[in-house]
Amino acid sequence: MLTYFFRRLLGAIPTIFLIILISFFLIRLAPGGPFDFDRSLAPEIQANLNAQYHLDKPVYVQFGYYFRDILQGDFGPSFQYKNYTVTELIAQGFPVSLQLGLMAMLLALLMGCSAGMFAAYKQNSRMDYFVMTISMTGISIPNFVIAPLLILIFAVGFTLLPAGGWNSGALENQILPIITLALPQIAYIARISRSSMIEVLRMPYIRTAYSKGLSSFYIVTRHAMKPTLLPVISYLGPAIAGVITGSVVVEQIFGIPGLGRYFIQGALNRDYTLVMGVVVFYGILIIVLNLIVDLLYGWLDPQIRLQGRAGAG
C-alpha cells in the first residue's frame, strides 16, 4: 500500500505541471490585461508596471518566471489586491470555503446514504419511487436556482434565517449555504448508494446470512454496509473538490468571503496571479483528495490491497 501511495504521488507531478501550463496560457488568451483600467495610465507608468511583473517579456519567458516561483512555493503578488500576496488571499478565503464544503458533504453523506439504502431495502415500493423522484429533482436543479429559492422562503417569507453575509461564521449564516451545496450531492449519493445496496443485497453471502435467520439490521450493518459504500467512497474525492470549488456561485449569492469570490473578482480584473494561484491550488486539492479516496477504497476492499502488493512485487 505504501508503494502504491508513492507511485500515485509521483504520477500526480506531470498532472500538476499540465494544469499550470494550460491554465497559464489560457488565461492570457482572454482579452485585456490586469492594468487596463477605465482611465488609461500614463505610458511610462504602464511600462513600469509591466516590467515589474515581467508582462513586457514573451509569454514563454513569463511562464519560466512563474514556474520558478511556484517551485519555491510562491504564488506571487496579487495585481489588484494591493499589499497582498496570492498565498495570503488563499489562506484567508479557503478556510471559509472548506468549512462550508465539508459541512455540506457531511450532511449529504448522512442523508444521501440513509435515503439510498432505505430505498434499496424497500425496492419498487412507493417510498423507493419517492426517494428517486426527489433525487432526480435535486440533480436537475442547479445551485444558482436553489439558493434564491431558499432565500425567498426562509429569509424573506418566514424571516427565520439571514439572507446572506458571514457574520464571523455564525451558525444561522451557514445554514442556507450548506443546504444549497448539499442538496445536489444528497441526490447523487442517494442514487449511488441505492444502486450499490441493491446489487449487494443480491449477493450469495447475503442470501446465506438471511437463511441462517440473522436479522435484517445485523445483515445490513455488518455485511452489506461496507461493500455498499465502495462506490460512494469513489465518488467522494471529486465530489468534495467539486463542492468546495462549486461554492463559487453560492458564495457570490450569499455574500460569503470564501475563495470563490476572490476567484471571480480575479477573473473579472484579469488578476493573472490570483486566478492561477486558485486554479493550481484547487488542482492540487483534487489530486490529494482522489489519492485519499484511493487509500480509503483499499482499506474497505482487501482485494485492492492484495493487488497493490502483487503489483509492487
Q: What CATH number is attached to the domain comprising 176? A: 1.10.3720.10
Please report whether residue 20 resides in a domain: no
User: Residue 308: pLDDT above 80?
Assistant: no
What is the rounded average pLDDT for all residues in the chain? 84
Give how many domains the chain has, as a whole number: 1
Please report whether residue 85 resides in a domain: no
Please report whether residue 191 resides in a domain: yes
User: Residue 309: pLDDT above 50?
Assistant: no
User: Residue 313: pLDDT above 50?
Assistant: no
Task: Specify the higher pLDDT residue, 221 or 171.
Answer: 171
pLDDT, tens digit, 9 for 90 and up, residues 266-302: 888 888 899 899 888 888 888 888 777 777 766 666 5
Contacts of 161 (CB under 8 A, 6+ apart): 154, 155, 172, 173, 175, 176
- Phi and psi at 126, nearest 5°, equal -60, -40
pLDDT at 105: 92
User: Residue 246: pLDDT above 70?
Assistant: no
Please report whether residue 116 resides in a domain: yes
Q: Specify the pTM.
A: 0.79
- The answer to whether the CB of 215 falls within 8 A of the CB of 172 is no
Task: Specify the higher pLDDT residue, 244 or 147.
Answer: 147
Domain range enclosing 273 = 92-312
Q: At what angle do helices 2-27 and 59-71 cross, to 10 degrees?
A: 150
pLDDT at 311: 45
- The answer to whether the CB of 291 falls within 8 A of the CB of 104 is no
Please report whether residue 42 resides in a domain: no
Taking residues 119-130, report their average pLDDT.
89
Please report whether residue 258 resides in a domain: yes
User: Residue 310: pLDDT above 50?
Assistant: no
Output the CA angle 308-220-121, nearest 5 degrees.
115
pLDDT at 110: 94
Contacts of 223 (CB under 8 A, 6+ apart): 205, 206, 209
Please report whether residue 149 resides in a domain: yes
Please report whether residue 292 resides in a domain: yes
Closest listed residue to residue 127, CA positions, set 179, 189, 218, 190: 190
- Phi and psi at 48, nearest 5°, equal -65, -40
pLDDT, tens digit, 9 for 90 and up, residues 144-164: 899 999 999 999 999 999 998
Output the CA angle 118-235-231, nearest 5 degrees.
55
pLDDT at 1: 59
Contacts of 187 (CB under 8 A, 6+ apart): 112, 134, 135, 136, 137, 138, 139
